[in-house]
Structure 1
Amino acid sequence: MKATSLLLAASVLALAVPAAAQDITPPPDAAGQAQQAPLAQDGELEGEQAGDIVVTAVARGTNRLDSSVSVSSLGEEEIQKIAPRSVAEVFRNIPGIRSESSGGEGNANIAVRGLPVASGGAKFLQLQEDGLPVLEFGDITFGNADIFLRSDFNVARVEAVRGGSASTFASNSPGGVINLISKTGETQGGSIQGTLGLDYEEYRVDADYGGRLAPDLRFHIGGFYRQGEGPRRAGYDGNKGGQIKANITKEFAGGYLRVFGKYLNDRAIGYLPNPVLVRGSNGDPDYQNVPGFRINRDTLHSRYFTTNVTLDADNRLTTNDIRDGQHPVVFAAGFEVQGEFADGWTVTNRFRFSDVSGRFISNFPGSVDTAAGTATALGGAGATARYFNGPNAGQAVPANQLVASIVVFDTKLNSLDNITNDLRLGRQFELGGGTLDLTGGFYASQQEIDTAWLWTSTLLEVRGRGNAALVDVRGPAGQVVTQDGFYGYGARFFGNCCRRRYDVTYETYAPFASATFSSGGLTLDGSLRYDFGNAEGAVYGSDLGGGRVGITRGDINADGVITPPETQVAFIPYAQPAPVDYDYDYLSYSVGVNYRFRDDLSAFARYSRGARANADRLLFGPAVSTVTGDLVDADAAVDFVKQAEGGLKYRQGGLALFGTVFYAETEEQNFEATTQRFFNRDYRAWGVELEGSIRRGPFSLSAGATYTDAEIRRDAINPGVEGNRPRRQAEFIYQVTPQFDTERFTIGANVVGTTDSFAQDNNELVLPGFTQVNAFAQVRLMDRVQLAVNANNLFNVKGFTEAEEGTIPANGIVRARSINGRTVSASVRLDF
């Protein structure tokens, strides 16, 4: 309640700002609209200033060539052309960002500049909407921040800051910040677009509208709805739902007040690793489709397996719908207010409350083997496998048919509610022939993590097109080994781990301050942030040890007989909670210098130390006492990142070039749910980041590339990997977008690629590099009407982003995630 009271008090204080504001020129709008410059469209400036005003993770809106941070921006038109199927596919077009866009609409692994992804999500990177975090932590297990984020017509632009001041202008984001900036009604009018999948089933409608209700009052509203099987063949509508967002802005002398809201209710399959056949050697592997299953088009989901029978969070028998997939439900509302007083002080406050809940449920293959091998492993010599359902129900499964031992990752997201307030006060002074900008503020947030893990174990044949059937195994004498395709009503393939309940609240507070001195072409800046917080609550589960038991017996199908699978019923042991009660704090700082040699050229250098507080992935591990809830290892609560960077920036007419060298040292403690492994490591990474664009008449080209040399410097648990390259970290990633644009048509391509990386930290099995080509064509038949065709992964490449195995197993079957295969869509857009 401390955080809630503090946030509400700050909100009330902020709402008093308009009454005190005086009649002076409006300052930049901190949500993303630079009001002092003419707007071509919401969030985009006209002329040479296009994309140059930085508003994310800085004290105030600053020209890119005058700032000592690395920042990139993608506008609405750019996003539309690359036809992203998820926000992760938007992010992978930002230099320095490694976005593994293979998980569907969410659940992507996202990293920046060689900072590690030891488990999942975006640990060192914060995802924001309009300057506030989507969730306080970007890597909540089964609640990664991108699951609750959608890109649609509401987005004016996406802005990304790598390193630099991200450490001091946001909490838990030492690697950087990616900010989705919304339209706010600066431009009168709107659009409606219908999109149809030509070679896959999806139907989508996007619409938005904004403008003036009065000379000092503007609004914007928009959203989308879609339905269909999605980019992979699941046998049912895997994607179904939508979003609506709205805001209204009241302008007054010296500032503005904006109120906004969002409702997201969407279902999308979470694509987890699938089986692929690997021939050759670990160092030179050849990845091939297994019979009847295309790794980039199929998924281990099926029309014949849509319900999970399990005990719910209250240990009562229930059935959950696997078709829910990643199902975020978000009600969010808040306000942003900015005002300037007669003595030159500017006050800005952003506040948002998000009611976040839903479900994450998807099928993870614990192992894959032939039907004969699986039957023998589970039922002994002479055991047999038969189809439980589907068109061949009751018949024997062919001995060589592949069968996946599935752990259903059924996780109920009871509450990921988040309440956040960011209050800032700033003023500019004349000093020594230059100007001094001072900014101070206070940030506070409360993040709930209330989730229940309700996993089960089943057998599912490996078959594509959504036609996989459940499989039953019987012993050599016909005795029951599995029941209705279920081997156990818990994570039996994982040793019956992980029937868990998290009920923890994290409070974060952070005073911060910055000073920027500018004189002529020189800009010096420094900033400090002191984060402190606490974690309070309890966790439940037999994984906590101490004699806790989480397995019981139960007549699941109510037939009066307890079968072997019914002796393996997992439950949450609420009678033996483990408290969580600890505090943490850390200091972040950043100093930078920028020198603008002339209007079109500048150079910068920066050093920063930031940190990330560990959240739920620290629990159920050795760092937190299950008796007192306090930290056993005081250093485990916070992981530090130290970074140095420097570079050149050039922009003249239609040519822009930006180059940055960087160096980072990272601490990390983490937990991975799929392997049940903890990590305690130090990393080092250095590299070069390049970005550029050129326009000559109707032709334009934008490109970015990042070279990274990363290394595991220390591993307290597995010293054998020290000196190795972190898994999935390629040395070179790149993006190139050429296009030809006339009054009546636009044609172009968006190319993203990566060189080889290693599947695991042992540096044996290679994930081959790949290049993905996305093509687009737009035709404007008449004013305000546009037809477009977009091809995502035009050449249907298999692009592997991760694999569970570190070496090729004896049967050659590796569990891996590939990017989606080719999907072609057509759309009609009407602007009005």
Structure 2
Amino acid sequence: MRFYTGFAAMLLATTAATPALATAADGDNGTAADDVTGEQAAEPAAPSTKRAFTTGVAKGRDLLDTAISASVIDDHDLSQLSVSSIAGIMQNIPGIRSETSDIDGFSAITIRGLPLSADGSKFLQLQEDGLPVLEFGDIHFAGIDQFLRADLTLAQVQAIRGGSASTFASNSPGGLINFISRTGQHAGGMLQVSSGVGHDLKRIDFAYGSPLGDGWRFHVGGFYRQGEGPRAIGYDGFRGGQIKANVTKEFEGGYIRIYGKFMDDRQPNYSLYPITLSGTDENPVVGNLPGNAIKDDAYGSPLTARYPGVDQNNNPTSYDARNGLRGITSSLGLEAQFDIGEWTVTNRFRFADISGEYNESIAMVTLPAPVLAGLFGGPGATLSYAAGPNAGQPINDARLLAYSIAINAQLNALDNVTNDLRASRVWDLGKGVLTTTGGVYTSAQSIDMYWNFANAINDIAGGGRNAPVNLFDAGGTALTDNGVNAYGFGFAVPLSTYHTRYDLDYSITAPYGSINWQIGKLAIGASVRWDKGTVDGNVFSSAFPGRNGQAAIDVNGDGVISDAETRVAILPLTQPAAVDYDYDYLSYSTGVNYRFADSLSAFARYSRGGRANAERILGIGSLNPASGALIDPTVAFSIVKQAEAGVKFRKDNLSAFVTGFWASTDDRNFQIGADAAGQVVVIEVNRTYSAKGIEFEGEWRKGPFAITVGATFTDASIDDDKIDTSFNGNTPRHIPDLAFFARPTVELKNVTFGAVINGTTESYAQDSNQLIQPGYVLVSPFVQFRPTERLTVAVNAFNVLDELAVVQLAAATIPPSGIANAQVMNGRTVTASLRYTF
């Protein structure tokens, strides 16, 4: 990546010198948990309903004094959730639609009815300590949550929906979610060991922080885990962990903080899985294939995990799908705040070296063995097992086999460097107070990745026992190598489809500013941001004209070119497509807040924000491969417009926030969908969308009893599809009318117990609005027992009723075969833990 290292070095040097200028502490760093409860050595205290909010705003304020819709989940709440994934946590925030199997990486996240046209989080920015984890949330095969983990170092999660998120961060027109770390304000630590009950997954977490005297304090923590996990895959799918540390020096009027993180973690990919699909489109019935259990199995096996292929230099190599979703991050950050005269200056800087790997296997076609043999081998074709306990055994019956696609993405470098410098001042203006803020944000993001695909045949034994199957033509010639039929796509599309390497650099400079005038109970504010980006690099793909994408290569190195080895997708290494273009867009937001009383306020806001599109738009129809320019410059970014109005009430131990919203956007994208036969297809998207709805969040506490509830009603629509007008007026896929959560708890002296309830009504499986995707209600109880002052024994049971919760149905209608693919949440998953605080 072409990082401006000179700038980084200068920044570190000048920021390190700033404590001499500090005169008065503002306390609003917007990132680390300096004002967050629960860092004491004891168990996390019950949260206060009066919380200062610092994410996506100019200055931290009480939520009743801000014209935004926002939520906070603190460490007390986090300890009660029976999920560990980032996307799973976000299911407990109103307005957020988070599709996950409780793994970090293969998820789709959106907000306020904005489209889930692809995986990742296009319109919603995820931050760690006030800076983005990745600049773009929907990079192919590299979702932000693949490089972010929740552990005991996490103090608080702050979420802002709409509002000023579009002007206080780049590429965040829908909202911001900030994962905030502990900083050691209070002396104490925690050590926790946990284990799956009924499944193999062991984990150890630790965290410790303390003041050191003379204004110094530190915090360090992390986790390590290993095991097969809650689904049967036949190997340790979870392996790895992270460690984080920070050191803070406080001065009169400011502070300086240095922090770092190292993460190397692997997780299995609980992706699409073959199912039976019967009933009607309005009332489908999801069932298991013989010998399979979709809630308990994943489409992986030690027998199919390793397979040969070619690397990004077209040389033979091998791939190991047991690496799953792997995220590797080494980051170093520096944050400082100080006063210069009447101005408060804050600077945040972070460099992150990010890489990893993405592995997925999907059944493209699931058929009885004789039908599959005839389809791919012709009349008289035969089948036999290629490995496993039945190796060499012929398959003469009609058992179900799958023609699968194995996907491997080598995430060579997703490095980024970000810096956010801002200055604020409070002025007396007439009978009111004027707060002004100005700043400049700069970032550089690399996208260096290579995609490899292979088609293979395997059985569907389930339980982590899927085995590869060889195919022979009528003359006995092998059409597969250990089950592999093509080193690329061998079915329905050209062999080299999506066989691509990206080597790109994105640079962003974004000056921004805001004003807020408060007079009595009235506050009026506005903010603006101008994002200017440059993109350069290369794309290697045979999709562009005049480029060869296929060759015959001895992939397995046995000295013979087999039939399968005549079908090898390669990169046109000497013919890269250039990428060289600029873009810019303006974002703005304005709002008004009126505090009628200490317990009641109301607000209204209108916002316009932009979101630059990353590598997804760089295809044959949008990129001029000779000049690197976009054929249509408007493809470079999408605009989101939002209007919202809400009422906030908080008195004693009762709070209730209600917000009505309207949002619209355009989207140029590609989404993985399914046709009427259940076949996985890639659909080009060029649409405008709109959504309106209501968000509610409330909390009530009385003695030992407490309940937190949230709900979102959404009415979303595809307004104008420029490719297929038959979609106009339809509801976007996977957007339910109602999504909700509730968290009732009882907290006694030695015992805390309760449940987390998450639910959603039905939605449409695809944009065609034929097949209904069932809704669900998941009940996940927990109990925490404290036999002594510092010891806590806890049991969390996710989905205790073992509900079938469908995340996505990969079909547009019930297929004639009655077999489709689906992604579901885990079934009943019980975890026990022992925590010691000191």
TM-score grouping bracket, smaller chain normalisation: over 0.9
Q: 2:764 aligns with which of 750, 758, 761?
A: 758
Match of 1:732 in 2: 738
Deviations 1:36-79 (A, max 9, x none): x987759x999995452111000011110000111101111211
Distance 1:398 1:89, change over 3 A: farther
SS in 1 for 2:302: coil
- Give the AA of the match of 2:118: S
Q: Corresponding residue for 1:776?
A: 782
Separation (CA, whole Å) in 2 of partners of 1:111 and 1:83:
22
Q: Quote the Cα distance in structure 1 between the aligned partners of 2:747 and 2:572.
A: 63
SS state of the match for residue 720, structure 1? Answer: helix
Counterpart position of 1:399 = 397
**For residue 388 of structure 1, what is the aligned residue in structure 2?**
386
Q: Deviations over 1:679-719 (max 9, x none)?
A: 11100100000110101111110000000000000111121
**Count of residues in Structure 1 that have an aligned counterpart in Structure 2:** 827
Deviation of 1:344 after TM superposition, in Å, equals 1.6
Q: In the TM superposition, what is the alpha-carbon distance from 1:477 to its structure 2 partner? A: 2.5
Greater mean deviation of Cα atoms: 391-400 or 643-652: 391-400
Indicate conservation of the 8 Å contact 1:27/1:340, yes or no.
no
Say if 1:459 and 1:486, in contact at 8 Å, map to a contact too.
yes
The correspondence of residues 141-152 of structure 1 with structure 2, limited to 5 A, is 141-152=140-151
Q: How does 1:204-603 map to 2 (within 5 A)?
A: 204-341=203-340, 343-397=341-395, 399-493=397-491, 494-496=493-495, 497-544=497-544, 546-603=545-602
- After TM superposition, the structure 1 stretch with the greater mean CA deviation from structure 2, 144-153 or 374-383, is 374-383
Alpha carbons of structure 1 residues 647 and 25: separation in structure 2 relative to 1, 3 Å: same
Give the aligned residue type for 1:391. P
Change (3 A) 1:762 1:8: farther
Displacement of 1:292:
1.0
Give the C-alpha shift of residue 621 in structure 1.
Answer: 4.0
Match of 1:816 in 2: 822
Report the secondary structure of 1:140's partner residue.
coil
SS in 1 for 2:304: coil
Q: Contact (CA 8 Å) 2:32, 2:183: kept in 1 or not?
A: no
Please state how far the C-alpha of 1:26 moved relative to its aligned partner: 3.9
Gaps of 5+ in 2: 673-679
1:668-683 aligned at under 5 Å gives the runs: 668-672=667-671, 675-683=681-689
Asked whether the equivalents of residues 49 and 653 of structure 2 are also in contact (C-alpha less than 8 Å), the reply is: no
Counterparts in 2 of 1:686 and 1:802: CA distance versus 1, 3 Å: same
SS of residue in 1 equivalent to 2:166:
helix
**Of 668, 675, 700, the match for 1:694:** 700
Cα deviation code 1:529-574 (max 9, x no counterpart): 0000111000001122x12111100222334432221100111111
Is the 8 Å Cα contact of residues 11 and 349 (structure 1) preserved in structure 2? no
Q: Write the deviation string for residues 273-324 of structure 1: whole angstroms up to 9, x where unpaired.
A: 1111011111111111111111111011002122121001121111121110
Select between 652-661 and 674-683 the one with higher mean Cα deviation: 674-683
Could you tell me which amino acid in structure 2 is paired with residue 503 of structure 1?
D
- Given that residues 313 and 573 in structure 2 are in contact (C-alpha distance below 8 angstroms), is that contact kept between their aligned partners in structure 1? no
**In structure 1, what residue type is equivalent to 2:348?**
R
Partner of residue 61, structure 2: 62
**Contact 2:801-2:828 within 8 A present in 1 as well:** yes
Question: What is the DSSP-based 3-state SS (H/G/I as helix, E as strand, rest coil) of the residue aligned with 1:65?
Answer: helix
CA deviation after TM superposition for structure 1 residue 231, in Å: 1.9
Partner in structure 1 of residue 17 of structure 2: 16
1:306-358 Cα offsets, whole Å, 9 max, x none, are 212100112111112111001111000011000012x2200000000000011
Percent same amino acid among aligned pairs?
Answer: 44
C-alpha distance after superposition, 1:85-124 (max 9, x if no partner): 3111101010110110126232210000001111110000
1:200-255 Cα distance to aligned partner (Å, 9 max, x none): 11000010000112231000000000000012110000000000000000011110
Offset from partner CA, 1:443-464 (integer Å, 9 cap, x none): 0000000000121111121121
Cα distance change, pair 7–722 in 1 and its aligned pair in 2 (3 A) = farther
Name the amino acid aligned to 2:815.
P
Contact 2:308 2:556 in 1 (8 A): no
- 2:196 — aligned with what? 197
Residue in 2 aligned with 1:98? Answer: 97
Distance 2:29 2:801 in 1: 43
Deviation digits for residues 178-208 of structure 1 (CA, Å, limit 9, x no counterpart): 1000000012100001001011110000100
Equivalent-residue separation in structure 1 for 2:698 and 2:47 (angstroms) = 14
Report the secondary structure of 1:481's partner residue: coil
- CA distance in 1 between partners of 2:781 and 2:371 (Å): 44
In structure 1, the gaps of 5 or more residues are none
C-alpha distance in structure 2 between counterparts of 1:378 and 1:551, whole Å: 19
Distance 1:61 1:581, change over 3 A: same
Decide whether the 8 Å contact of 2:500 with 2:571 is kept in 1.
yes
Partners of 1:641 and 1:665 within 8 A in 2: yes
Give, as a single letter, the amino acid of the residue that structure 2 aligns with 1:184. T
State the distance in 2 between where 1:819 and 1:703 align.
21
SS of the residue corresponding to residue 102 of structure 1 reads: coil
Q: Secondary structure at the match of 1:392?
A: coil
User: 1:627 offset after TM fit, Å?
Assistant: 1.7
TM-score between the two structures when normalised by the length of structure 2: 0.96
- Give the Cα–Cα distance (whole angstroms) in 2 for the partners of residues 765 and 175 of structure 1: 28
Partner amino acid, structure 1, of 2:665? T
Q: Distance in 1 between matches of 2:13 and 2:488?
A: 48
Answer whether contact 1:508 1:531 (CA < 8 A) is retained: yes
Q: In the alignment, which residue of structure 2 is the partner of 1:135?
A: 134
User: Does the 8 Å CA contact 2:226/2:240 hold for their aligned counterparts?
Assistant: yes
Counterpart Cα distance in 1 of 2:470 and 2:77: 50
CA distance in 2, matches of 1:13, 1:798: 56
Q: 1:125-166 CA distances to partner (integer Å, 9 max, x unpaired)?
A: 000000000000011001110100000001001110011111
The 8 Å contact of residues 775 and 790 in structure 1, kept in 2 or not, is answered as yes
Tell me the distance in 2 between the aligned counterparts of 1:156 and 1:592: 29
Distance 2:662 2:600 in 1: 23
Query: Is residue 793 of structure 2 the alignment partner of residue 791 of structure 1?
Result: no
* Alignment RMSD (CA, Å): 1.7
Q: 1:361 to 1:2 in 2, by over 3 A?
A: closer
Instruction: Name the SS for the 2:57 alignment partner.
Output: coil
Please, which moves more after superposition, 147-156 or 664-673?
664-673
